[in-house]
Amino acid sequence: MAKDAHFLGIDLGGTNIQAGIYKAEKKIDRKNLVVRDGTKTKAEGGSEAVLERIEKLCLKLIEKAGLKPGDIAGLGIGAPGAIDIDKGMVLRAPNLGWDDFPLCKKLGERLPFKVTVDNDVNVGAWGEYMAGAGRGHRDLMAIFVGTGVGAGLVIHGKLYHGVRFTAGEIGHTVVQGNGLLGRRTVEDLASRTSMVRRLVRLIESYHKSSVPKMVDGDLSKVRSKILAQAQQEGDALTLQIIADAADYIGIAIANAVTLMSLPCVVVGGGATEALGEDWMKQVREAFKKNVFPSELKDTKIVASELEDDAGVIGAALLAVERLG
Amino acid sequence: MAKDAHFLGIDLGGTNIQAGIYKAEKKIDRKNLVVRDGTKTKAEGGSEAVLERIEKLCLKLIEKAGLKPGDIAGLGIGAPGAIDIDKGMVLRAPNLGWDDFPLCKKLGERLPFKVTVDNDVNVGAWGEYMAGAGRGHRDLMAIFVGTGVGAGLVIHGKLYHGVRFTAGEIGHTVVQGNGLLGRRTVEDLASRTSMVRRLVRLIESYHKSSVPKMVDGDLSKVRSKILAQAQQEGDALTLQIIADAADYIGIAIANAVTLMSLPCVVVGGGATEALGEDWMKQVREAFKKNVFPSELKDTKIVASELEDDAGVIGAALLAVERLG
């Protein structure tokens, strides 16, 4: 790898595109992210329009960093959905409306760099593994709790994809096989969406809570930040819902660690960031109650360090790994 | 590897020791298991007595095969419990009463072969991967349903052990997070032990069943074979219990395949062998209902081919792999 090579990292989401330029040095450090910017995805405008927005964002960042396109050694991009990393294809991305879309080829036609792509959650996991809370472990899972619940797996120092490139779909594992309300997955019970849905339903059936006051009676405004505010104010209903969700996230992590004997799990995502260390403590407690064998209680369950930068840094570092 | 090299494979259990000699040829085939024999473990006699029984069994097999000890290129052994495969140590084997026991070194002092050890379930999984129902897949899980429920994982063509050498403990994953009877693991709900316990409890609380007649009223005699007989005779209570257990095994498999995007799962163990293809159909159905994304419904869920020989053949083939 050339000395001081620069790599572009892009985190392509259904709503926003985030991007940055990472200066590759021997010592991997999030501080090497030299510039950072973002824009809206506007996926409804079609794939060519999205590609154009990515192209413009890249050129803007290169200028901002005082570089020329020729100084960029490669581009890594994380995209939502199932990705065939060998072919550089987005197989299915419902959030973008893309099927069998040759993302690497298409970007390569617009920009003079080699391009590599992976799933956005995997890219976040790679960021935490290389430059965040997972440093120093050869195997780990990074689980992100937000609108949904997803995970990325690093095994023997490499991202693990599985036969259909869908590994890490922990949100869709069943943790309530036969409950009063039927079968439930981790996402049904512990995503931010499910926490909010449960809170709203209970408030609407006259449970006492300080949340309605916080949103001036408009319960459609309840998001992670409101959950966090109610948590800080000690709203009993919210605390119970958060505790129940933490319990199921702890079970999901315990199940994965029991199956794969993992030394480290990084926990991130919007809900985790908002709910902070109190939430992490509850997740850890539930993990320890449910993992097997007891030696695995030593497994590190740590909060994401890179937070919003995990995707951008992970994508750039994946480009370093694969294209550097 | 020498032409026609022979390898010893040993499946060391809490009750029985099974062993055989495998002739290593380019084409891997269970028919290359040229001799096969077994003896009781008698673990209560202490580790030296167990080692002596293994030594005698090996020498007997070598003679039976018309070979000399010098013809044996290596010995593979599967032992129950957590194994440090790098050090050749049995870390904990409750069934044998062993802790931090240097099995490879101890056997190497008695027998003139190189020795390699792994967990008994992993060894069974390796047998199915190399010579059984899992051939042709680079990644797989083999799950064994009997007294307990355990699994072995092959990832990228290698056994996967994890940080504590305990990977595959799927029986201890939680699939009923908050049921009427509290939290339940796969083993609580779907092992042969739990099926029998539930059947006995229901019969004792006056549910109708033809099982008491089959065991002359002695319900302590209910084992896999009785379950299978009641299944064949269409005993409604037994059929319900088997179906519920199959449902939870299907969920457990779906959870693993969803997390790891696996192309193949081999299902074996005493209960699976006894309950046969009807059971496998129910397991497959439950798997398909619960796996995500839907593309993974194509994952092969297949019955063990090697059955009782999986451990012996797996151990011998592990010796071929590591010592050949």
Are A170 and B251 an interchain contact pair (Cβ–Cβ within 8 Å)? no
Nearest to B166 among A153, A168, A296 (CB): A296
Q: Yes or no: say if A141 and A125 are a contact pair by the CB < 8 Å rule.
A: yes
B134-147 burial code (b ≥16 CB/10 A, e <16) = beebebbbbbbbbb
Compare CB distances from B295 to A164, A167, A290 and report the shortest one's residue: A164
Pair A271, A145: CB distance under 8 Å: yes
A259–B173 C-beta distance less than 8 A: yes
pLDDT greater than 60 at residue B91: yes
Q: Which of B167, B177, B178 lies nearest to residue A259, judging by beta carbons?
A: B167
Q: How confident is the model at residue B181 (pLDDT cuts 50, 70, 90)?
A: confident
| Residue contacts between A and B (CB atoms, under 8 Å) | 137
Q: Which of A165, A173, A177 sits opposite B248 (nearest CB)?
A: A177
CA quadruple B259, B142, B295, A179: dihedral positive or negative? negative
d(CA A238, CA A217): 16
The nearest CA of chain A is from the CA of B147 a distance in Å of 17
Which chain B residues are Cβ-neighbours of A255 within 8 angstroms? 173-174, 255
CA-based nearest residue in chain A for residue B252: A174
CATH number given to A140-304: 3.30.420.40
Q: Which residues of B touch A166 (CB under 8 A)?
A: 258, 261, 292-293, 295-296
Mean pLDDT along residues B160-176 = 97
Residues of A in contact with B261 (CB under 8 A): 161-167, 169
The predicted model gives A282-296 an average pLDDT of 97
Q: Do A139 and B153 touch (CB under 8 A)?
A: no
Task: Give the C-alpha separation, B126 to B316, whole Å.
Answer: 10
Q: Across the interface, do A151 and B258 touch by the CB < 8 Å criterion?
A: no
Q: Where in chain A is the domain with CATH 3.30.420.40?
A: 5-132+308-323, 140-304
% pLDDT > 70, chain B: 98
Contact check, Cβ <8 Å, A164/B189? no
B172 interaction partners in chain A (CB closer than 8 Å): 258, 292-293
A17 contacts A86 by C-beta, under 8 angstroms: no
Cβ A151–B259 below 8 Å, yes or no?
yes
Per-residue pLDDT tens digits for A82-124: 999 999 999 999 999 999 999 999 999 999 999 999 999 999 9
Residue A170: how many CB atoms within 10 A of its CB? 28
What's the CA dihedral at B261, B264, B268, B271 to 10 degrees?
60
User: Least CB-CB distance to B167: which of A162, A183, A261?
Assistant: A261
- pTM: predicted TM-score of the whole model, two decimal places: 0.96
Where in chain B are all domains bearing CATH 3.30.420.40?
A: 6-132+308-323, 140-304
Residues near B46 by beta carbon (within 8 Å), at least 6 away in sequence: none
Q: Is the pLDDT of residue A1 over 70?
A: no
pLDDT tens for each residue of B288-305: 999 999 999 999 999 999
- Rounded Cα distance, A65 and A61, in Å: 6
**Beta-carbon-side half-sphere exposure of residue B103 (alpha carbons within 13 Å):** 31
- pLDDT at A252 > cutoff 70: yes
Instruction: Evaluate if residue B214 carries a pLDDT over 80.
Output: yes
Spatial neighbors of A266 by CB under 8 A, at least 6 apart, are: A125, A128, A129, A132, A133, A134, A140, A141, A142, A143, A302, A303, A304
Instruction: For A207-246, write each residue's pLDDT tens digit.
Output: 999 999 999 999 999 999 999 999 999 999 999 999 999 9
Angstrom CA distances, A116 to A76, A163, B141, B264, stand at: 5, 19, 30, 28
- Give long-range contacts, CB 8 A cutoff, 24+ apart: A202-210: A202/A237, A202/A241, A203/A237, A207/A237, A208/A236, A208/A237, A209/A235, A209/A236, A209/A237, A209/A238, A210/A235
Please, which residues bridge with residue B56 across strands? none
**Which of A183, A254, A262 faces B162 most closely, judged by CB atoms?**
A262
CB B74 within 8 A of CB B7: yes
Chain B residues with CB-CB distance to A156 below 8 A: 156
Residue B324 is predicted with a pLDDT of 86
Tens digits of per-residue pLDDT, B3-47?
579 999 999 999 999 999 999 999 999 999 999 999 999 999 999
| CA pair distance B315, B322, nearest whole angstrom | 11
Q: What pLDDT band is residue B182 in, cutting at 50, 70 and 90?
A: confident
In angstroms, what separates the C-alpha of B5 from chain A's closest C-alpha? 32
CATH architecture of A5-132+308-323: 2-Layer Sandwich (3.30)
Q: In which band, very low, low, confident or very high, does the pLDDT at A3 lie, cut at 50, 70 and 90?
A: low
Q: Which CATH superfamily is domain B6-132+308-323 in?
A: ATPase, nucleotide binding domain (3.30.420.40)
Q: Across the interface, which of A162, A174, A251 has its CB nearest the CB of B260?
A: A162
Q: What is the mean pLDDT of chain A?
A: 96
Mean pLDDT of chain B: 96
Q: Provide, as residue numbers in chain B, all residues whose Cβ is less than 8 Å from the Cβ of A254.
A: 173-174
Identify the weakest region by mean pLDDT among A1-15, A299-313, B71-85, B231-245.
A1-15
| A184/chain B closest Cα distance in angstroms | 9
Query: Quick one: which H or E segment has residue B300?
Result: strand B300-303
Q: What is the pLDDT of residues B110-119, one digit of tens each?
A: 999 999 999 9
8 Å CB contact between B253 and B268: no
Chain B contact set for A161 (CB, 8 A): 261
Residue of B nearest to A154 (CA): B260
Confidence of residue B131 (pLDDT cuts 50, 70, 90): very high
Name the pLDDT band for A324 (thresholds 50, 70, 90).
confident
Q: What is the pLDDT of residue B3?
A: 56
The yes-or-no verdict on residue A181 having pLDDT over 90 is no
What number is the average pLDDT over the span B309-318? 97
Least confident of A96-105, A179-188, B64-73, B85-94: A179-188
pLDDT higher than 90, residue A178: no
Percent share of chain B, pLDDT over 90: 96
Instruction: Tell me the three state secondary structure of residue B108.
Output: helix
Look at A167 and B260 and tell me if their CB atoms are within 8 Å: yes
Is the pLDDT confidence value at B1 over 70?
Answer: no
Identify which of A251, A260, A293 has the shortest CB distance to residue B174.
Answer: A251
Per-residue pLDDT averaged across B145-158, rounded? 97
Residues of B in contact with A285 (CB under 8 A): none
pLDDT at A189: 96
Q: Do A260 and B167 touch (CB under 8 A)?
A: yes
Averaged pLDDT, B199-204: 97
In three-state secondary structure terms, B168 is coil
Q: What is the pLDDT of residue A182?
A: 80
